[in-house]
Homo-oligomer: A and B are copies of this chain.
Amino acid sequence: MADTIVSSATREVVIGFDRPFCVIGERINPTGRKLLAAEMTVGDYSRVESDARAQVEAGANMLDVNAGIPLTDEPRILAETIQLVQSITDVPLSIDSSIVEALERGLSVYKGKALVNSVTGEEERLEMVLPLIKKYGAAVVAISNDETGISEDPDVRYEVAKKIVERAADYGIPRADVVVDPLVMPVGALNQAGVAAMRLIRRLRDELGVNTTCGASNISFGLPNRHALNAAFLSMAIGSGMTSAIMNPLHAEEMQGVMGANVMMGHDPECRRWIKKFREPAADGQEAQGARGGRERRRRRA
Interface residues of A (CB under 8 A from B): 31-32, 68, 98, 117-118, 120, 143, 145, 150, 181, 183, 185-189, 191-192, 194-195, 198, 215, 217-219, 221-226, 228-229, 231-233, 235-236, 238-240, 256-257, 259-261, 263-266, 269-271, 274-275, 277-280, 284, 286-287, 289-291, 293-294, 296-298, 300-302
Are A287 and B223 in touch, CB under 8 angstroms? yes
For the complex, give the distance between the alpha carbons of A36 and B261 in Å.
Answer: 35
For the complex, give the distance between the alpha carbons of A191 and B274 in Å.
Answer: 12
Q: Tell me the minimal C-beta distance from A156 to chain B in angstroms.
A: 15
For the complex, give the distance between the alpha carbons of A21 and B279 in Å.
Answer: 31
For the complex, give the distance between the alpha carbons of A257 and B233 in Å.
Answer: 9
Q: Given that A215-B301, A302-B143 are contacting pairs, would A223 and B271 also be in contact in the complex, using a CB cutoff of 8 Å?
A: yes
Are A232 and B261 in touch, CB under 8 angstroms? yes
Q: Tell me the minimal C-beta distance from A211 to chain B in angstroms.
A: 17
Name A's interface SS. helix
Are B224 and A264 in touch, CB under 8 angstroms? no
Hey, which chain B residues are within 8 Å of A191, CB to CB? Answer: 266, 269-271
For the complex, give the distance between the alpha carbons of A224 and B229 in Å.
Answer: 22
Hey, which chain B residues are within 8 Å of A291, CB to CB? Answer: 186, 188-189, 221-222
Are B150 and A264 in touch, CB under 8 angstroms? no
- Which one, B231, B286, B298, contacts A218 given CB within 8 A? B298
Given A188-B290, A223-B287, A224-B280, 9 more A-B residue pairs with CB atoms under 8 Å apart are A150-B302, A185-B294, A186-B291, A192-B266, A218-B294, A223-B263, A224-B287, A231-B231, A235-B235
Are B290 and A225 in touch, CB under 8 angstroms? no
Are A222 and B32 in touch, CB under 8 angstroms? no
Are A232 and B218 in touch, CB under 8 angstroms? no
For the complex, give the distance between the alpha carbons of A192 and B143 in Å.
Answer: 33
